[in-house]
A and B are shown apart, each in its own frame.
Chain A
Amino acid sequence: MNTNTNTSTTTTKTTPVGEGQLSPHPQPTPITKLRSVSKRRAKLNKILTYAAFVGPALLFFVVIQIIPFFMGIYYSFTSWNGVSSTVEWVGFENFKRIFTNDERFFNSFLFTTKFMFAAVIISNFIGFSLALILNAALKTKNILRTVFFVPNVIGGLLLGFIWQFIFVRGFAAVGDLTNIGFFQLPWLGDATTAFWGIVIVFAWQISGYMMVIYIAALQGVDNSLLEAAKIDGATAFQTLKNIIIPLILPAFTICFFLTIAMAFKIFDLNLSLTGGGPFNSTQSVAINIYQEAFTNNNYGVGSAKAIIFFVIVAIFTTAQVMFTKKREVEA
């Protein structure tokens, strides 16, 4: 960029800076040459302005995300331990180890996938139901919307600690008072309750967010269509299934996209609520990668896992968007 600037300033010395194409000054050079020179100047000016506006964003983005991304691909083929300065190339050794000899990673994938399905279905079901309720002409609509949204502004780490208390002490206290079996379960103490514990907290956090998106979509549904359905004698369920849901499918695309991505990448909440336990039964992929790299100091293997994770997240999210988009077109 710099050399370019220098050469052009020497060739166009005669044109005053900033005049560009419209330069009215009489010049000793032939008109055609002048025109092409000032045209080039204008073009260069344009490029420089473009660089000044787009450059900073591009620079930070490339340095912080893109370069580490490619470094990660490189490290996934090495036995780097994060400390030593020599990085040894090991080919596909890390991947081979992950696929053939890493039961814990496999289990964490299984857990994360199961969790994702449960969490996505439940939080969208609750979010959509809340949206349908709040879309009616309720008097307390605004305050209720705020209440349902509040959990979403709290970070996952603090939420996890909060719910650890609720599950261990709160549920036990309610169980003593009411004798309801649900509250007397050994919450977070075994694999099943720990799994559903994380699902419950995730749904509690995310449902309000989904609700806000669904409400915005429901408000865009043309009322005359609903009136017409009513006159034709459609039941509430038929109206919902045949008119409302097809009309707001884009909202479903967004909500599923968001929840799938969030559930699959779960880390903070998982870490503070169960710490991956009991017996690593609720260890998410994100926690597994973190521990591989920063606890076991296997940066090479950790990078390989991170790349596998990326590929799967990319497949999941694009497949889901394509699937729902296709339905949208058909509808």
Chain B
Amino acid sequence: MGSRYTKKTFALEIVAILLAILFMVPFYFVIVNSLKSFSEILVDAAALPSELLFSNYVKVWDILNFPRPFINSLIITVFSNIGIVIISSMAAWKMVRTPGNFSKILFIFFVSAMVIPFQTVMIPLVKLGGMLGIMNSIPGIIIMYFGFGVPLSLFLYHGFVKTVPVEVEESARIDGCSPFGVFWRIVFPLLKPITVTVVILNTLWIWNDYLLPLLVLQDASLRTIPLATSSFFAQYTKQWDMGLAALVMGITPIIIFFLFLQKHIIKGIASGSIK
């Protein structure tokens, strides 16, 4: 574990790079074959394409009507995130700053729900959603994400608020700031590091979620990227030339998101899980 760069470290580095290449091989297969014709894929899936064929992408773009599912996914992810951040940060702050049995029990109530698997609530949720009139609508699914997102986000905020000194809030309160003013002007900016973590974790979850949209969004025009991809595959089974192009399109937005924010994401994941 020394910091010198020895022969042993070099050997380790080679091993690590080889492993990384092995990890990336699936992407090679997917990208290379998405640029081939169907018959060329069948001949040899490992070879490079004889000519770059972009027609698969053009076709799939039209079939999926790609901007539609992309925008749906984007709207759902962004607004769910905003709502979850607002309600869970407010609740967590107030609960930490109001010590007592009530807050303690409430906190346990929120956190223990994290053990409930989604499959346990999904069947009645469909029924309840119908009764509340929030099925088959984008605002409806966003509301549902609020409910599912609260426990973990509140838990993370709760842990973080405890480390924020209370003195600043108190002086602001004496200066006549309302509780909302104190929270939004003073406390919330201080919560930024954990807000980044919360947003990253929720984005990866909501963007990639398949089952809740499958249950809630029936209209083709409301489909998210995972939904559109799965119905594409149901329709064009084994047509890998177009299927792979659809997959590359589907994974590109989230990979770009990751590459732009990778430092924050990796840090956020580490701190989010250690708490």
Contacts and interface: CB of A to CB of B under 8 A. Distances in A.
A11 B2 CA distance: 73
Contacts of A250: 274
B91 A82 contact: no
A272 B233 contact: yes
Most buried by B among A157, A172, A217, A317: A157
Interface string B119-142: 111111111100010000000000
A29 to B, nearest CB: 26
B242 to A, nearest CB: 12
A303 B147 CA distance: 20
A268 B240 contact: no
B179 A177 contact: no
B34 to A, nearest CB: 10
A310 to B, nearest CB: 4
A213 B273 contact: yes
Most buried by A among B1, B2, B247: B1
A223 B273 CA distance: 23
A89 interface: no
Contacts of B215: 294
Nearest to A300: B123
Interface in B87-117: 87-88, 90-91, 93-95, 98, 106, 110, 113, 115-117
Interface stretch (B59-67, B190-198, B201-209): B201-209
Most buried by B among A53, A268, A290: A53
Interface string B9-34: 10011011101100110100110010
Contacts of A157: 208, 210, 226, 229-230
Interface in A34-63: 46, 49-50, 52-54, 56-58, 60-61, 63
Given A140-B13, A147-B24, A177-B46, A306 B144 contact: no
Contact of B274 (A150, A153, A158, A254): A254
B4 A170 contact: no
Contacts of B19: 130, 133, 148
A299 B130 CA distance: 15
Contact of A56 (B87, B207, B243): B87
A144 B20 contact: yes
A234 interface: no
Interface stretch (A67-75, A94-102, A186-194): A67-75
A147 B123 contact: no
B250 interface: yes
Interface stretch (A117-125, A160-168, A323-331): A160-168
Given A68-B128, A318-B115, A53 B90 contact: yes
B157 to A, nearest CB: 10
A130 B19 CA distance: 9
The 9 closest A-B pairs by CB, nearest first: A64-B147, A155-B208, A53-B94, A71-B124, A57-B91, A216-B270, A173-B45, A173-B46, A68-B124
